[in-house]
């Protein structure tokens, strides 16, 4: 059995990691430099795989020993710079019944080499998803309970992509229509729980991807520091991830570029690194093993968020990733590499 479908699935979470750079739901803060551990639900582990080049690694946050010991269970939020005066905590200011559309457009290119055989870079047809987001409840603790539905998913025409590939992708993605989900987050944007509801006839390959996305929903929301922030504020969110059989370390660095009332402008970078390891992802062919030799990825993006709206106003990010692996199928070893470029754009409708 070919390992290629399995390896493609390993790359899918890179797109979900891109969502992290949009900070779809910001959070709050107060003066002073402090490290805080943001709780996450253990049965819904954090986000997706992506890694970075050594020269792109942001300054490592100073983490107290007790906080560092808990990073496997949540996100360590570390304030680097509180920014200029005036400073003010950022908190979501949503109300029950709020409803908004969000449009996400993804463009991706991938190149692969298996042993001596190189597959030239292939452009994946652009995909556009229209989602409806709705706040269903503000709990007594102030947490925000929301639901979403995927109203439409389209494969956009692209002169560089063969029509046969467009039609094939349409057939696979079409089964995602009517997918829905729920989430519960704090006013600071920390995800307490999240889940997806999938149609019974969803394509099995898509189901596997959505199962991964269930873990990555934490990246749809950005934990802000507890401290008050001013323009120029910088902080990091450090996580240890277990995703698709790979153990990863992720550092996202955020900067508050501007603020006008409830609207904030953010810039972000993401870096993930992984030690050499054996991948034990579900669905591997019997007798096959995959060793991760290297994982390098970095990305940057900008986003504009209205703390009083459910979806971001707008945002764009670019991500470059490279994965090196060695497959072992019943004693026959083969080196493999995959390189991927991804562009993601998000806009919030009315």
Q: Which of 303, 342, 255, 343 is nearest to 102 (CA)?
A: 303
Is 145 within a domain? Answer: no
Q: What is the pLDDT of residue 256?
A: 97
Is 220 within a domain? Answer: yes
Q: Give one DSSP letter per residue of 191-212, joined into a string.
A: EEEEEEE--TT--HHHHHHHHH
What is the mean pLDDT of each successive set of 10 residues along the chain, which is 350 residues long?
34 44 41 43 34 33 27 70 95 94 90 90 87 94 92 85 80 75 86 77 61 50 86 92 79 95 94 89 73 92 91 89 90 91 84
Rounded CA-CA distance 47/237 in Å is 12
Domain containing residue 81? 4-87+108-122+205-348
Q: What is the pLDDT of residue 33?
A: 42
Is 243 within a domain? Answer: yes
- Angle 123-129-133 from CA coordinates, rounded to 5°: 150
Q: Is 176 helix (H, G, I), strand (E, B) or coil?
A: helix
Is 71 within a domain? Answer: yes
Q: What is the pLDDT of residue 132?
A: 92
Is 312 within a domain? Answer: yes
Six-digit token pair at 55? 């020269």
> pTM, whole model, 2 decimals?
0.75
Domain count within the chain: 1
Q: What is the pLDDT of residue 74?
A: 67
Specify whether the CB–CB gap between 188 and 91 falls below 8 A.
yes
Is 50 within a domain? Answer: yes
Is 192 within a domain? Answer: no
Which residue do the tokens 């190189």 mark? 118
Is 166 within a domain? Answer: no
């Amino acid at each position: 059995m070919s390992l290629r479908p399995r390896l493609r699935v390993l790359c899918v979470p890179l797109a979900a990691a891109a969502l992290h750079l949009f900070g779809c739901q910001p959070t709050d803060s107060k003066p002073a430099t402090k490290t805080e551990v943001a709780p996450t639900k253990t049965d819904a582990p954090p986000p997706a795989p992506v890694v970075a080049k050594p020269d792109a690694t942001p300054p490592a946050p100073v983490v107290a020993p007790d906080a560092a010991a808990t990073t496997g269970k949540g996100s360590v939020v570390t304030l680097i710079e509180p920014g200029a005066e005036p400073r003010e905590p950022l908190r979501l200011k949503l109300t029950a019944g709020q409803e908004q559309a969000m449009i996400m457009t993804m463009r991706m290119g991938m190149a692969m080499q298996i042993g001596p055989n190189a597959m030239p870079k292939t452009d994946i047809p652009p995909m556009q998803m229209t989602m409806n987001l709705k706040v269903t409840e503000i709990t007594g603790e102030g947490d925000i309970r929301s639901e979403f539905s995927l109203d439409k998913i389209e494969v956009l025409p692209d002169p560089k992509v063969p029509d046969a590939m467009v039609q094939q992708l349409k057939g696979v993605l079409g089964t995602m229509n009517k997918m829905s989900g729920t989430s519960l987050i704090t006013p600071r944007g920390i995800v307490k729980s999240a889940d997806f509801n999938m149609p019974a006839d969803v394509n099995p390959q898509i189901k596997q991807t959505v199962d991964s996305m269930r873990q990555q929903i934490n990246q749809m929301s950005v934990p802000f520091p507890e401290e008050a922030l001013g323009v120029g504020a910088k902080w990091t969110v450090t996580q240890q991830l277990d995703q698709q059989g790979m153990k990863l370390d992720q550092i996202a660095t955020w900067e508050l570029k501007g603020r006008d009332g409830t609207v904030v402008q953010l810039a972000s970078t993401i870096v993930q690194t992984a030690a050499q390891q054996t991948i034990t992802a579900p669905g591997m062919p019997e007798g096959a093993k995959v060793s991760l030799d290297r994982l390098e990825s970095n990305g940057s993006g900008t986003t504009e968020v209205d703390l009083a709206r459910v979806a971001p106003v707008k945002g764009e990010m670019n991500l470059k990733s490279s994965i090196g692996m060695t497959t072992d199928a019943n004693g026959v070893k083969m080196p493999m590499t995959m390189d991927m470029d991804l562009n993601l754009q998000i806009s919030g409708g009315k």
